Amino acid sequence: MRYHVWSIGCQMNTADARRMSDELELCGGEASDRLDDADVVVLYSCVVRQAAQTKVHNELEQIRRVKHRRPGMRVALAGCMVEDDTSELARRYPFVDRFLSPKLDLAVRDQVFDLVDLDERYRLDPEDAERSSIVSQPVTVSQGCNRRCTYCIIPFRRGNERSRHPREIRREVESLVRRGTCEVVLLGQIVDRYGRDLGTTLGDLCADLSDVEQLERIRFLTSYPVDFDRPLMEAVANLPKVCEDVNLPIQAGDDTVLRRMARGYKVDFYERLVDEMRSLIPNLGLSTDIIVGFCGETEQQFENTIGLLERVRFDVVHVAMYSPRTGTASANMWEDDVPLTEKKQRLHEVERVQARIASEINGEMVGSRQEILVEGTRQGKWYGRTRNNKICFFESPVDPTGTVMTVAVTGATSWSLQGELAVPVTA
């Protein structure tokens, strides 16, 4: 049995795709990076923006053609394209055999039983699939979201917030570490709220996972300004394995736009929070998400977002043009009235300002020494990340993948650092 698992969108999909691949491997499957020769195909879809949705659609159309030639192929569609009522999807994509809703927290194993005829295959006993190791791996710790930001489709597709049990998370992390993973990225829509339904906290989880030997680093995504509390800041500041790296989407730098997005905070609150974090966590790497061209966003309101970028000086900004999602409050209530050309200009303006800020911030790191957890090679150089999540390239006579190297930073761009080994190693 050859399987092909494809994913797009958020890291939660990456994490689910990895678990699915592991299970298929345990059923005796063999990974294939080609659709054409696969017996089982699983797509982890995304609909958070139109661009992602279009790519999923194109992939499905390709599958339609392949399955026409090879009707025995089994196809599952997972991820946020899968609505509660799948009849419309089934009509559009009749060749899909299974829809795996992200709302059902079915063990991936149960989902696999539906796809693979296990009677005919020998099921492997060991719990760890033999797969190539990946230095940094995402691990989902909570699912769904209780907020209703007016632009966002995620709560409709992933349901309300619920946390995975810490024991189960620890088991997954230990299994990854046995296979060579050195860093885990804990994932949740509002990861800071992890455990509130179980009487525990994200800080506690990070402390617990810190005991896993051989695990070097812990990161988490995505944070929500209102839920990032002082104890969590202290956990980041005090737990050595937890990296100084926070992704804190603000979405807009204007109070009127934030209110229309129903974000539940004002710009001033956000900036004070960042001040507090930065005073508690030295060398904090801070990234954010911005939506430009939200319904009714005026030129002045957009300029306020640019002003915010100049004041806060983020390390990284993920910027997207607003894309109305059917069923969300903003799509129901307001017209998508910022013209596409204007949205594109605003997007480029954010990118231009942010590229300058990032190159200044990164430039200040030249001359410093950084601990790099090495992830692999790219274009003849080794690369890895600093604790505050900057990519750094350097040369090494030996393969340092999966180890932490001390690197002296010699150069910087907006996107990355270059360096050389501070402690020379010989081959």
- Indicate the residue among 242 and 291 with the shorter CB distance to ligand SAH: 291
Q: What are phi and psi of 255, to 5 degrees?
A: -65, -35
**Count of CB atoms situated within 10 Å of the CB of 390:** 23
DSSP 72-121: T-EEEEEETT--S--HHHHHH-TT--EEE-TTS---HHHHHHHHS-GGGS
Under rule CB under 6 A, residue 44 binds ligand SAH: no
Q: Which of 20, 42, 48, 417 contacts ligand SAH by CB under 6 A?
A: 48
Residue window 221-260: x/- pattern of binding to ligand SAH, with contact defined by CB under 6 A: -x-x------------------------x-x---------
Q: Which of 289, 303, 342, 371 binds ligand SAH (CB under 6 A)?
A: 289
Which structure tokens are listed for 313? 């000086």
How crowded is the C-beta side of 224, counted as CA atoms within 13 Å? 20
Q: In what order do the strands lie in the sheet with 136-140?
A: 136-140, 183-187, 217-221
- Decide if residue 24 touches ligand SAH (CB under 6 A): no
In the complex, what is the shortest distance from the CB of residue 268 to ligand SAH, in angstroms, rounded to a whole number?
Answer: 18
Among 53, 323, 370, 386, binds ligand SAH (CB under 6 A): 323
Pair 195, 207: CB distance under 8 Å:
no
Rounded Cα–Cα distance for residues 337 and 294 (Å): 8
Residue 394 in contact with ligand SAH, rule: CB under 6 A: no
Give φ, ψ of 139 to 5 degrees. Answer: -135, 120
Give 326: exposed, middle or buried? Use CB within 10 Å, 0-12, 13-18, 19+.
Answer: exposed
Whichever of 301 and 418 has its CB closer to ligand SAH, that residue is: 301
How many other CB atoms sit within 10 Å of the CB of residue 37? 12
By C-beta, is 19 or 49 nearer to ligand SAH? Answer: 49
Q: What character string, x for contact with ligand SAH (CB under 6 A) and - otherwise, covers 161-200?
A: ----------------------------x-----------
Q: Is 7 in the site for ligand SAH (CB under 6 A)?
A: no
Under the binding rule (CB under 6 A), the answer on residue 6 touching ligand SAH is: no
Cβ closer to ligand SAH: 159 or 249? 249
Residues binding ligand SAH (CB under 6 A) = 48-49, 149, 151-152, 154, 189, 222, 224, 249, 251, 289, 291, 320, 322-323, 325
